[in-house]
Amino acid sequence: MFHLLLLAAALLAAYLFLTRTLFRSSRCEGNAAMDGKTVIITGGNTGIGKATALHLASRGARVVLACRNREKAERAMAEIRQETGSTNVLFMQLDLASLKSVRSFSERFLKTEPRLDLLINNAGLVADGRTEDGFGIEFGVNHLGHFLLTYLLVERLKEGGGGRVVTVSSMAYRWGHVDPEALAVNRHLGTGRYSWQFFQAYCNSKLCNVLFTHELAKRLKGSNVTCYSVHPGVVRTELSRNVGLWQKVFIEPIARLLFLEPEAGAQTTLHCSLQEGIEPLSGRYFSCCAAEEVQPRGRDDAVARKLWDVSERLCGL
């Protein structure tokens, strides 16, 4: 009996430790006015993106759900409208695995929407495979599609009174590695049949998000647009929908016990979207609604600049 009590105490202590460290959550206190402002959220039909869309719609923003799946987007729009009473939520087709689709979306948006105040690069996945253009799927979707989208829309952001770009990264960047020269040749961040191999590629793509934001801030200096990368926390989303069945069987019980719900996971994104006075922190990485110092690999000026140059070439810019 004593050993069982000891084990129970140890498990409880471990649970409390994890929920206060790796799985801790925070609350956005930002209250910037959103009436009359326009927001794009990639992957806004599910998970963190949907929770973000719901909150911004409730604050009066015009919210564009930039998603691949029309059916899921229409369901999300109906739920957001019902919950918030907003009729200012719309869907625009965007497949980040296709540079043609990114260009088509941007062209349509610029023709039909007179302003853009907030671009939230939220969509992401963990998977193996290739995009329509032959890039590794995680590189193509998690980084390159968002890079091109931001590049094409940044001038519209500058036209407003202080636009922001918020890119959802992850603490997984800490285990990432990016070699821009190899990337230019291989056009992927890692491949393989096993989950650990495409999880490594995911970590690499999240490092790309941090480096992209670091370099973007330099290029935006002197403008009224700022940018931030965020770690949303360890969240229960559809991010790992492409992993194998046995991995899901292993992950699901842990996720139910420890992972954050999407609403909690949206808080740092919302902080970087709504908190006034954080403009001097442009280019920084945020976690739990606060700026956090990144590891040297996430603020390497030379690698960030080379990644930008390679991304431009691969996008045909």
Name the residues annotated as catalytic. 202
- Give, for 216, the enclosing helix (H) or strand (E): helix 195-220
The arrangement of strands across the sheet holding 164-168 comes to 89-93, 62-67, 38-42, 118-121, 164-168, 226-231, 285-287, 290-292
CB 123 within 8 A of CB 141: yes
Shortest CA distance to 34 belongs to which of 289, 279, 274? 274
Tokens at 243, concatenated: 């992993």
Phi/psi of residue 197, each to 5°? Answer: -70, -45
Q: Are strands 62-67 and 89-93 parallel, antiparallel or unpaired?
A: parallel
Name 168's bridge partners: 230
Q: Are 210 and 295 in contact (CB under 8 A)?
A: no
